[in-house]
């Protein structure tokens, strides 16, 4: 009789091994013990397996009853996948863990698929190459000797253990039989996401599971990942989305995963054969405040079905340009607006994204609001002066010109001293009640080496998201008389 214990507490395991143990526990939940040549017990931190006879026959039975090929898709009964779920799971696995052509065989011809993203919207049309053969449905002979017994050390490729780089001097990476078995079930625990270009890119998310039975119960509540959630805007956003979807209810928070790792995969210049090689790795903590802010941001920057303005009527899912930048700030513990100075210079901010930024500014803290409101108040004053001047000349206000001048004032400085002088000059030139009495607080932002760049980001964000009190678009406000508060001006001593 052979016995095998796979424990989350084993100090020799890595994150993929522990996630693989969770995947094994999930697979066993969907199998019938009466029909199996293997006995098992699952606790909160361990899976115990035992069987009589050949090791190879026992493990092959488990793997072949977990993974199946149906109509060109990789299907896993334990995941209870719907039509879109089978597509996203299959595409995810073959573009991450089984990306190498030796691990799967695809049909030469493509099939056309149509998925409905939103009611009343056009369907997304995709091309899909059916899967003819895959690693998990083969004989797994590399793990066993001629007598069907486990090899003492089993060679593992980087496709099965993300981040592994083979050493051609010392040979392939070697695993023990128990850790190799765990990796066979890793795909069940992972999240898969397609990333935007350049080139082919994908993200593999591996969770840190701490309570097997509770995690299995939560995981079985999913019925597959729809195509809209399969399309992430970036690796950071993929990890945040995965953590948010894992937290399906308040009752699950106690046993939710504490963190996950995201492997960003894409082209590397040193390998011309594979399109999905490791480019970056992120570790993202499942902090409630972080996920709450991301959940709001995701609602403010939704994906939309777009139709090509041609006879072909080609459809695709357009994603926000702002969301990946914002998500990367969140996963690196930066304020969500960090780097807006560089972002607005390199990206075009479209109206929908601008409205999302306007809503995000409601989530600035009290200290951040000091700079934001002071600059926005000064910009309002500059607009009022420009409107009055235009009316005297009998002309229509050129709002875009006023905005560009304000941005140029604050964007041109490249050092702390230059920006401090430019901001103080702007606030003094266009006095605003929002800056009155805030001199010391603003000075604290400008004279702190760690904060002046954030102050620049907030200043430019204030101008980019400005809109009139009764306006929803980027238009000049109506002329109003200067209030007593606004005429008090701004004083700041250096």
What does pLDDT average to in each consecutive run of 10 residues of the chain (494 residues)? 94 94 96 92 96 94 95 92 91 90 90 83 86 92 93 84 66 89 95 89 94 90 82 94 76 71 88 79 92 94 77 74 94 94 88 93 94 94 91 87 90 91 92 85 87 93 82 44 38 38
Q: What is the pLDDT of residue 474?
A: 44
Q: What is the pLDDT of residue 277?
A: 81
461 closest CA partner among 329, 369, 327: 369
Biggest alpha carbon distance in the chain? 97
Q: What is the pLDDT of residue 473?
A: 43
Question: Which helix or strand (DSSP H or E) is residue 281 part of?
Answer: strand 277-285
Q: What is the pLDDT of residue 483?
A: 36
The pair of three-digit structure tokens given for residue 341, joined into one six-digit string: 């100075």
State the pTM of this model: 0.87
Question: Which helix or strand (DSSP H or E) is residue 401 part of?
Answer: helix 399-411
Q: What is the pLDDT of residue 79?
A: 92
Cα 416 from Cα 449, distance rounded (Å): 8
Q: How many C-beta neighbours within 10 Å does residue 327 have?
A: 27
Give every CB contact of residue 393 below 8 A, 6+ residues apart in sequence. Answer: none
- Is the CB of residue 305 less than 8 Å from the CB of residue 315? yes
Q: What are phi and psi of 212, to 5 degrees?
A: -60, -55
The pair of three-digit structure tokens given for residue 346, joined into one six-digit string: 């390199």
Cα 26 from Cα 220, distance rounded (Å): 8
């Amino acid at each position: 009789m052979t016995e095998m214990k796979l424990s989350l507490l084993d100090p020799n395991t890595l994150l993929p091994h522990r996630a693989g143990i969770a995947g094994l526990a999930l697979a066993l939940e969907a199998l019938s013990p009466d029909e199996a040549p293997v006995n098992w017990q699952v606790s909160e931190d361990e899976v115990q397996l035992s069987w009589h006879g050949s090791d190879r026959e026992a493990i092959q039975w488990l793997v072949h009853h977990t993974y199946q090929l149906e109509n060109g898709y990789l299907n896993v009964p334990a995941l209870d996948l719907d039509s879109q779920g089978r597509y996203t799971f299959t595409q995810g696995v073959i573009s991450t863990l089984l990306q190498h052509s030796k691990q799967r065989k695809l049909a030469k011809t493509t099939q056309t698929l149509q998925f409905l993203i939103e009611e009343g919207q056009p369907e997304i049309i995709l091309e899909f190459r059916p899967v003819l053969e895959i690693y998990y449905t083969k004989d797994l002979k590399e793990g066993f000797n001629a007598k069907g017994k486990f090899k003492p050390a089993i060679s593992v490729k980087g496709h099965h253990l993300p981040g592994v780089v083979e050493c051609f001097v010392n040979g392939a990476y070697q695993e023990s039989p128990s850790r190799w078995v765990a990796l066979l079930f890793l795909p069940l625990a992972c999240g898969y996401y397609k990333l935007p270009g350049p080139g082919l890119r994908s993200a593999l998310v591996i969770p840190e599971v701490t309570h097997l039975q509770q995690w299995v119960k939560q995981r079985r509540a999913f019925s597959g990942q729809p195509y809209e959630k399969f399309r992430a805007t970036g690796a950071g956003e993929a990890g945040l989305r995965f953590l948010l979807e894992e937290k399906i209810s308040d009752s699950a928070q106690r046993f939710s995963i504490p963190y996950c790792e995201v492997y960003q995969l894409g082209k590397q210049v040193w390998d011309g054969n594979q399109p999905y090689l490791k480019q970056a790795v992120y570790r993202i903590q499942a902090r409630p405040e972080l996920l709450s802010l991301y959940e709001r941001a995701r609602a403010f920057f939704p994906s939309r079905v777009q139709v090509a303005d041609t006879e072909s009527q080609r459809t695709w899912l357009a994603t926000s340009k702002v969301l990946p930048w914002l998500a990367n700030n969140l996963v690196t513990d930066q304020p969500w607006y960090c780097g807006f100075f560089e972002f607005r210079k390199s990206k075009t901010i479209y109206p929908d994204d601008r409205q999302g930024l306007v809503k995000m500014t409601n989530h600035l803290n009290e200290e951040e609001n000091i700079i934001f409101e002071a600059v926005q108040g000064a910009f309002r004053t500059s607009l009022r002066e420009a409107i009055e001047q235009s009316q005297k000349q009998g002309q229509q206000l050129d709002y875009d010109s006023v905005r560009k001048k304000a941005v140029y004032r604050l964007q041109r400085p490249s050092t702390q001293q230059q920006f401090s002088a430019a901001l103080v000059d702007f606030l003094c030139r266009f006095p605003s009640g929002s800056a009155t009495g805030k001199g010391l607080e603003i000075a604290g932002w400008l004279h702190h080496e760690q904060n002046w760049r954030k102050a620049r980001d907030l200043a430019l964000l204030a101008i980019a998201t400005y809109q009139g009190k009764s306006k929803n678009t980027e238009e000049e406000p109506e002329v109003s008389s200067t209030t007593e508060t606004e005429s008090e001006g701004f004083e700041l001593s250096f």
